[in-house]
Amino acid sequence: MIRIEYSPKEGSFHLSNGRVSYLLALAGGHPLHVYFGRVLRAVREDMLSRRAGLTEETFTLHESPLDRLPQECPVFGCGDMREGMLQVRHADGTEALDLKYLRHTVLDGKPALPGLPSARGEGGRTLCLTLRDDESGLEADLYYTLWEDTDVLARSVTLRNTGKTRVTVEKLLSFCLDLEGHDARLLTLQGAWAREREWTERPLVMGDQGTGTVRGASSQQTSPFMALLFPGCTEEMGECLGFALCWSGSFLANVHVDQFGAARVMMGLQPFDFSWLLEPGASFTAPEAYLTWSGEGLGGMSRAFHSLIHRHITRGAFASAPRPILINNWEATYFNFDQQKLLSIAECARDCGIDLFVLDDGWFGHRDSDNSSLGDWTDDLRKLPGGLGALSDSVHALGMKFGLWVEPEMVSPDSALYRAHPDWCIHAGDRIRIEGRHQLVLDMTRPDVREYVFTSIRDALERGKVDYVKWDMNRNINMIGSALLPPERMREFPVRYILGLYRVLEKITSAFPKVLFESCAGGGGRFDLGMMCYMPQAWTSDDTDAWMRCRIQYSTSLVFPPSCMGAHVSAVPNHQTGCVSPLLTRAAVAMGGTYGYEMDPRTWTEEEKETVRALNRQVRAWQEVLFYGDFRRLVSPYGGEACAWMSVSPDRKRAAVTHVFKDGHVNRIPSLLRLTGLRPDADYRVNGLETVCGGDELMARGIPLREPSGNFGAQQFFLEAVE
C-alpha cells in the first residue's frame, strides 16, 4: 500500500510502498532531501538532524546555508554556490530565484505530462509539492510518484509563470538527489554505432562526472541512464541507485561532488544551447525521470526498471503479448530486389515456421541506393508492379503477416518532397545544408511537416495492410534552424523537435492499435524510455554478430527487459564484424531479445531448415518466460571470455538459461554455472541432463557446462519444476 505522510510539526514528507522509503523535509520553506532507500517504519527526529537549527525562525539566506544542505530543487544564485537543476533569466537580466513551499497535494494515480510520454499511473500515488518565488511569480510543481508493484520513484517538474513579465528558462532538469557522501562507483553506458551501450564504470571524484549528448537524440554514443554502486555492490548483493530518463532527445546526466564530499545527482534536458521563453500564464514541463534504490545489487535495480516498463511504460496490443517471429529482407537483398525475389524469401521463411515477413528499405520512390527518395512514400512500381497492396496480399495469402520499414523524419535532397518544399528541412538560413547518409532531417516543429508525415505514412500502412512497422532514423541533428521559429525561440528547437515527434508517434500508433511498432535509429541510437511509450520494442544495434550482441544486450538489460530488445539471427560471415559463429549460438543470443532472422532463408540447407523449425518451436514454447520472466545476468562478457543470463517465470516453475563461450579451449576441467532466482525447495527437470536437480543445488553448486570445441559455442538449458 502506498503511504504519503505529511508531518506539519516536522515539515516532513514520507513516501513509502512497503519496500522503499523517500523522505524530504522543509527548512525555511526550502525542501531538503533526507533519505531514499530501504523502507522505514516511521520518520523520527534523528532522521531530520541535518536540519538542526534551521527552523522557520532561524533559517536565513544571509550565511548561504543552502550551499551546505541537500536540496530537492536547488537553484544557483540565491545562496547555493553549486550548479542547480533550474536556471532562469528574468526580464531585467538577473537570475536570482528563491523557491519556497507554497502548498502540497496528494493524488491517486499519476497525472499525465502534457505533450510528453510518461509512465501510466495505475496503482500509484503522487505527491505534488508546489514552490513559489514571490518576487517573480514563478512557481514549480515537483511531482513524486510511487507504485505498489515496482520500486521505482517517478520525478518530474512543471514551471508555471504566474508573474507579469516573461521569464527565460535556461536550464530545467527533471530531478536532483543530494547524497551525504560520494563513496560509490558511477556506471554509465557509452558507445558508438554497432557497439552501443558499453558498460563503463569509474569511481566518483571531486567535480563533475556523468554523461550526456547534444546530438538531438538520446544517441548511440551514450544512454539516458546512470547508476551509483556503493561499496560491496555486485550483481545480486549490496546497494545501488539507478536513474533513467523518459526522453528521446539531447540530455544531461551528471554527478557533482562538492568540497564537503557530498554528491549531487541530476538528470534532464540538455542545458547546452537550450532556452525556453515562458510568457505570463504559460507553463513548461520537464521529462519524467525514474529513480530506484536496490538492496539486491544491480540485478535488483534492473528488475525494478523491467517491472516499470512491463507494467507502466509499454502499451498497446503487444505490450505483454507474444511477438511474431520475423524475417527481414535487408541483409538478404539490400536494395536489389523485386516482388518475385521477395515472395520467394517469404515462402521459404513460411515453410520454416516464420510468422512475419518485413520489407526493409528500397520499396518507395526510385530508391536503388541510400542517396534518394526519402520523403516520397509512394510505391516503386518498377520493383513492385502491383504496389505494396499486391505484395502484402501475396504475403498474407502465405499465412504470414506483413511488415514495412519507414524513415519518416528524413528527406533526401533528391526527392519530390524536397523539390516541392526545400524549407521543410532543418536548415540554418542560407548556410550550406550538411547532409548525413545523403539525407536531411525534416523540421518536426512545423505543423505542416507533421501532418505530411502522418498522412503519407498512414496511407502507406493502409495501402500495404501492414501488421508491423520498423520506424527508423539514421542521422542526428546539426546546423539547427527552422523557417517558422522566431530568432528568440530558436534555442527551443531541439526540445520542440522531440515534442513534435512525440505528437506524430501518438497519432500514428493510436491510428493503428493492432500494429506492432519497432523503433530504430541507425541501430540503437534512440533506445530510450520515451520511445518505448509508443513502441514496445527497439532495434538494439545494427551489429548482429553473436558475441558483440552478448555485450550489447547484456548492458542494455541494465534498464530494458528482453521484450524491448530487437534481436535477430543473421548470416555468417557476419556483415558487420566478419566473424563466423554457429547457427545455434546466433539463435541462443537472439532469444535474449525479440527473436527474428536477418538473412536469406533460400541459402539454408535442409538440415539448417529443420534446425530453424525446431528453434522457432522452442521460441514459441518459451517466449513468455524469455520475454517477460524475471531476468538475471549471470556472467559478464566485459573483460571475460564468457557471457550468461537467465529468465525465470513469476511462479519460479520455469527458467531459460543461456551461456556463451567466446573462445574454445582444450584440456580444462568442465566449469559450473551457478543459477539464481529459482525455488530452493523445488526440483527441476533440465533438458540435456539425465537427472532431476534441486533448485538449491543449481544455485549453490551450479549446472555443468560443456567445453566448446570451437569459438563462440553456446549452451541453453530449459528448466521445469517437477510437481
Q: How far apart are CA 264 and CA 226, in angstroms?
A: 13
Q: Among residues 443, 445, 409, 408, which one has the least CA distance to residue 426?
A: 443
Residue with C-alpha cell 550538411?
Answer: 434
Q: How far apart are CA 67 and CA 84, in angstroms?
A: 11
Q: Among residues 336, 424, 338, which one has the least CA distance to residue 374?
A: 424
The backbone torsions φ and ψ at residue 292, rounded to the nearest 5 degrees and listed phi first, read -140, 140
Looking only at the bridges linking them, the beta strands covering 12-16 and 3-7 are: antiparallel
Sequence-separated (6 or more) residues with CB below 8 Å from residue 539: 470, 518, 519, 520, 521, 523, 524, 566
Which residue type is seen at 663?
A: D
Confidence of residue 53 (pLDDT cuts 50, 70, 90): very low
Q: Among residues 269, 166, 181, which one has the least CA distance to residue 230?
A: 181
Instruction: Copy the grid coordinates of residue 341.
Output: 525475389
For 526-551, the pLDDT digits (tens) are 999 999 999 999 999 999 999 999 99
Task: Give the C-alpha distances (Å, rounded to integers) separating 689 from 643, 649, 713, 719.
Answer: 21, 21, 18, 10
Q: Among residues 157, 145, 12, 144, which one has the least CA distance to residue 75?
A: 157
Q: How far apart are CA 625 and CA 592, in angstroms?
A: 11
pTM, entire model:
0.97
Average pLDDT over residues 260-267: 96
Longest dimension (CA), the chain: 84
The backbone torsions φ and ψ at residue 389, rounded to the nearest 5 degrees and listed phi first, read -60, -45
Determine the pLDDT at residue 639. 84
Sequence-separated (6 or more) residues with CB below 8 Å from residue 41: none
For 333-366, the pLDDT digits (tens) are 999 999 999 999 999 999 999 999 999 999 999 9
Sequence-separated (6 or more) residues with CB below 8 Å from residue 195: 541, 543, 548, 551, 552
C-alpha Rg value of the chain to the nearest Å:
27
Give the 3-state DSSP-derived string for 406-419, with helices as H, strands as E and coil as C: ECCCEECCCCHHHH
Average pLDDT over residues 600-621: 98
Say yes or no to pLDDT of 65 above 80.
no
Determine the pLDDT at residue 63. 56
For 117-170, the pLDDT digits (tens) are 999 999 999 999 999 999 999 999 999 999 999 999 999 999 999 999 999 999
Sequence-separated (6 or more) residues with CB below 8 Å from residue 504: 408, 444, 450, 453, 454
Burial of 431 (0-12, 13-18, 19+ CB in 10 A): exposed
Q: Among residues 229, 219, 278, which one has the least CA distance to residue 249?
A: 219
Q: How far apart are CA 43 and CA 49, in angstroms?
A: 11
Determine the pLDDT at residue 48. 58
For 364-422, the pLDDT digits (tens) are 999 999 999 999 999 999 999 999 999 999 999 999 999 999 999 999 999 999 999 99
**List of domains in the chain:** 3-313 (2.70.98.60), 326-520+568-611 (3.20.20.70), 642-721 (2.60.40.1180)
Q: How far apart are CA 506 and CA 509, in angstroms?
A: 6
Neighbours of 185 (CB within 10 A): 15
Quick check: 142 and 73 in contact, CB under 8 A?
yes
Cis peptide before 573 (omega within 30 of 0): yes
Catalogue the active-site residues. Answer: 472, 542
Sequence-separated (6 or more) residues with CB below 8 Å from residue 442: 375, 408, 409, 410, 411, 424, 425, 426, 449, 453
Q: What is the DSSP string of 311-352?
A: III--STTSSS----EEESHHHHTT---HHHHHHHHHHHHHT
Average pLDDT over residues 495-501: 98
| Burial profile 304-341: b = 16 or more Cβ within 10 angstroms, e = fewer | bbbbbbbbbbbbbebeeeebbbbbbbbbbbeeebebeb
Say yes or no to pLDDT of 50 above 80.
no
Quick check: 11 and 27 in contact, CB under 8 A?
yes
Instruction: Copy the grid coordinates of residue 372.
Output: 534518394
Helical segments of 207-353, H only: 297-308, 330-333, 339-351
